[in-house]
């Protein structure tokens, strides 16, 4: 374990309290070259990749629980929440990428270098809770998939997920491009599975299009609002903001104003395109749930296991359930890869401390496995479903503590120079941050005061 606390202040005009430290992923920092010549397509492809690692967090098993619950209870109504959440995610991830490219800091390092030590430590604890909640969703989702596809009991499935740390360690030695390729392959697998299930479900296209129009009922109905905020928490992932701001620095772009501007443009394209894939998959889960369960009167399908078992009789083919299970397993394993990286970035960025990757992963996995084992043992599959939705609400509650610093930093001309957010973007970003904060306040009031 190494610690290198550098408290040397920079000149006041820099906007930072501390000097910039080394990257939180030093083994892959600026390891992928960007061609200086050639077409824009060639350059874009060199930048493509980080966006898909970010997109993984927007289609993890936690999304499944909230999307299934929303679709079965309320039909297509909450599609508008998925769309709005995805648009928020596109904006926030673009800002995260810009922060990393311009300042050379990821969001965790930026928080550490800007705030006092007590504030930075508080933000770190909150972020670790969010990562633990996300890891909990991955553990439960992977265990459920193993149970559905291979009949492995849930408790054993939860314990098996402990060993995916070995897989992650092996992949990290093969280079960052290999991890990106594997992630994109698993995303394609998930997309193909849902494309077939959508064809089998034959949704009402009029209802689907109408669902993308926001409804006032979402705010008025407490249950709908609870699920909606869960969808928001599952879609706009706080730890993804930390992740994206770091992994964009794996590209060896020119450290000039022109080079940074080009890097921002291509990184934004990359994350935006990738997040539209995430939008399709999230919407597909809710649409399948609405078309299959809500329309047939099964309005209480909030558990992944129930959805798996009902798809075959309702759609008339066992392939629907198998594809659903395969997509779930691919989703859980994909989230494992990005969760490992996010955990490393957050701990090293906030604390400026490096732990061996296996130890960092083991810590976060144990934090997730222990409650999963306890709940599974005491309450069975029903308890894991409630735990999945609760994990997404925890993510949503932590979101403001990542979004507000991100908007603040990228709007500061001392920190960003010519790349600081223009007025229109600043207003839009603060509006998104305010909407998130207000929704979370409403959720807290309803949760604790009925």
pLDDT for 425: 96
pLDDT for 64: 80
Domains of the chain: 45-449 (1.20.1740.10)
Low-confidence residues of the chain: pLDDT under 70: 1-14, 62, 164-172, 233-235, 302, 357, 360-361, 364-365, 368, 379-385, 388-389, 392-393, 443-444, 446-448, 450
- What would the two tokens of residue 178 be? 């290999």
Distance CA 141, CA 64 (A): 9
Distance CA 90, CA 92 (A): 6
- Burial pattern 327-349, b for ≥16 Cβ within 10 A else e, equals bbbbbbbbbbbbbbbbbbbbbbb
Distance CA 426, CA 290 (A): 37
Distance CA 330, CA 190 (A): 7
Of 135, 127, 134, 85, which Cα lies nearest the Cα of 107?
127
pLDDT for 63: 76
The region, left, alpha or beta by phi > 0 then psi within -120 to 50, assigned to residue 253 is beta
Of 80, 111, 128, which Cα lies nearest the Cα of 235?
80
The DSSP bridge pattern shows strands 32-33 and 2-3 to be unpaired
How wide is the angle at C-alpha 332 spanned by C-alphas 327 and 338, nearest 5°? 125
* pTM for the full predicted model: 0.89
pLDDT for 257: 94
CB 271 within 8 A of CB 41: no
Beta bridge partners of 252: 33
pLDDT for 1: 40
Which H or E run contains 207?
helix 205-211
CB 152 within 8 A of CB 170: no
Distance CA 69, CA 64 (A): 8
């Amino acid at each position: 374990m190494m610690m290198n606390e550098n408290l040397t202040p920079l000149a006041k005009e820099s906007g930072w309290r501390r000097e910039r430290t080394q990257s939180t992923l030093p083994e892959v920092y600026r390891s992928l070259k960007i061609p200086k010549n050639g077409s824009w397509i060639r350059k874009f492809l060199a930048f493509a990749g980080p966006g898909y690692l970010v997109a993984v967090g927007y289609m993890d098993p936690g999304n499944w629980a909230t999307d299934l619950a929303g679709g079965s209870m309320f039909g297509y109504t909450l599609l508008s929440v998925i769309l709005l959440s995805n648009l928020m995610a596109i904006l926030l991830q673009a800002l995260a990428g810009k922060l990393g490219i311009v300042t050379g800091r990821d969001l965790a390092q930026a928080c550490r270098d800007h705030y006092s030590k007590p504030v930075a430590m508080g933000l770190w604890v909150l972020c670790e809770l969010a990562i633990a909640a996300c890891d909990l969703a991955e553990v439960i989702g992977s265990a459920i998939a193993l149970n559905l596809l291979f009949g492995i009991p849930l408790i054993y499935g939860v314990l098996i997920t402990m060993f995916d740390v070995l897989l992650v360690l092996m992949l990290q030695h093969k280079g960052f491009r290999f991890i990106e390729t594997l992630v994109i392959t698993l995303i394609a697998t998930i997309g193909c599975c849902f494309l077939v299930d959508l064809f089998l479900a034959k949704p009402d296209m009029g209802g689907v299009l109408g669902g993308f129009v926001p409804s006032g009922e979402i705010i008025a109905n407490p249950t709908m609002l609870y699920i909606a905020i869960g969808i928001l928490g599952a879609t706009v992932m706080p730890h993804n903001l930390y992740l994206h701001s770091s992994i964009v620095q794996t590209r060896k772009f020119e450290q000039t104003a022109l080079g940074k501007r080009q890097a921002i443009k291509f990184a934004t394209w990359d994350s935006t395109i990738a997040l539209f894939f995430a939008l399709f998959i999230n919407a597909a889960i809710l649409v399948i749930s609405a078309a299959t369960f809500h329309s047939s009167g099964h309005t209480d399908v909030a558990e992944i296991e129930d959805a798996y078992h009902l798809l075959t009789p309702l759609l008339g083919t066992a392939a629907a359930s198998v594809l659903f299970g395969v997509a779930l397993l691919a989703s859980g394993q994909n989230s494992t890869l990005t969760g490992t990286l996010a955990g490393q970035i957050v701990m090293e960025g906030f604390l400026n401390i490096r732990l061996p990757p296996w130890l960092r992963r083991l810590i976060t996995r144990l934090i997730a496995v222990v409650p999963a084992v306890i709940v599974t043992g005491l309450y069975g599959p029903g308890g894991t479903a409630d735990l999945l939705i609760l994990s997404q609400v925890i993510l949503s509650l932590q979101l403001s503590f990542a979004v507000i610093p991100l908007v603040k930093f990228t709007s500061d001309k001392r920190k960003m120079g010519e790349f600081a957010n223009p007025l229109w973007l600043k207003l839009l970003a603060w509006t998104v941050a305010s909407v998130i904060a207000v929704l979370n306040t409403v959720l807290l009031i309803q949760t604790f005061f009925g």
